[in-house]
Amino acid sequence: MDKNQEKEIISYMRELLNSNEKLDCGTAFKIAKKFNVNIEKIGQLADENHMRIDNCELGQFGHLDFEKAKIEVLKKIEPSLDEKRRIFCKDARDIAKEGCG
């Protein structure tokens, strides 16, 4: 990725910040798809430009506005949590594909 595309992505990310001045998780995935880059690159650019992720579809950055995690889900992901009780998106998505229960 060249510097011009990187600047374009960062500018686009800033345009799409939510009312809390954060980038919604779902929006980050849409940006990655639009620019044909890995979601990890969007996360890296967000970090480097002091943009926080919000409304994580997996509940990683606090509770989602519309629901809380269920006990069954917590039991399923607990083995993959690190010492700060975080999980990589890839691991959580893999667990989600397997299903719960």
3-state SS, one letter per residue, for 59-80: CCCCCCCCCCCCHHHHHHHHHH
**25-69: per-residue pLDDT in tens?**
889 999 999 999 998 899 899 999 999 988 876 655 554 444 555
Q: Is 63 left (phi over 0), alpha (psi -120 to 50) or beta?
A: beta
SS3 101: coil
| Span 77-82, average pLDDT | 86
The residue among 71 and 58 whose pLDDT is bigger is 71
Query: How many other C-beta atoms are found inside a 10 Å radius of the C-beta of residue 75?
Result: 11
pLDDT (0 to 100) of residue 99? 65
Q: Residue 100: pLDDT band by 50, 70, 90 thresholds?
A: low
